[in-house]
Amino acid sequence: MNKKYLLVVFTLAAILLATPIVSAAIPNRGQNKKQLVDYKSDGYLGDSLYTTTVEYPYVYFVGYRPQESILEYSMTINGEEYSYPEDFSYAETFTLTYHIPTETLILDVVCVFTFNLPGNPTITEHISSEGISEGVYSGSFVLDGTKMFNKVMGGGTESAFEEEDILHAIHEGQIMGWPF
């Protein structure tokens, strides 16, 4: 057989085999980025470092969580589990505002998860809790991302409680734009 003839036959066979795959993929292109998927982050955290400022009627606690205080952290996104520090690093800053006359607390936290992927994309949780009492926190969070996660957005509920000086923080919700 002629080499040219074999090349034409193999090329046509490849096109015929690839057509069903390509035609099925084209209508669904980008759909997973518009789909809501389950999101959960779950951490066990030690002591934080903070400074205190009093401006009556408020007391402000501004601080961060040092790396050695991150005892365990995991994230589950769309059924896939990611672990600290193998898959991502974790950084946390916070402001706790105490209103003296009403004895109410407002907590604002920013958690940044930097993934060990090319370009180090991040997911950032912005958490807000009110009415905190006796080491129990509940509120909500919204999240967004950078770089390959720049289309990620979502939110959900946040709860945390302290046990023997360990804070167990659980954030559950849904996100959209997850590329995996």
Give the angle subtended at the CA of 114 by the CAs of 111 and 115, to the nearest 5°: 135
Q: H or E element: which one contains 7?
A: helix 3-28
| % pLDDT > 90, the chain | 63
Mean pLDDT of 92-102: 93
Q: Looking at the domain that runs over 34-176, which CATH code has it been given?
A: 2.40.350.10
Strands 36-45 and 122-130: unpaired
8-state DSSP, 30: T
What residue ranges do the domains of the chain occupy? Answer: 1-33, 34-176
Cβ neighbour number for residue 20 with a 10 Å cutoff: 9
In this prediction, residue 31 has a pLDDT band, given cuts at 50, 70 and 90, of: very low
Query: End-to-end alpha-carbon separation of the chain, Å?
Result: 46
Which has more pLDDT, 152 or 2? 152
Query: Which pLDDT value is given to residue 14?
Result: 44
| % pLDDT > 70, the chain | 78
DSSP string, 90-115: EEEEEEEEEETTTTEEEEEEEEEEEE
Using the Cα atoms of residue 51, residue 69, residue 158 and residue 86 in order, give the sign of their dihedral.
positive
Query: Which pLDDT value is given to residue 25?
Result: 40
Query: Which pLDDT value is given to residue 6?
Result: 42
pLDDT digits (tens, 9 = 90+) for 118-136: 999 999 999 988 766 566 7
Mean pLDDT of the chain: 83
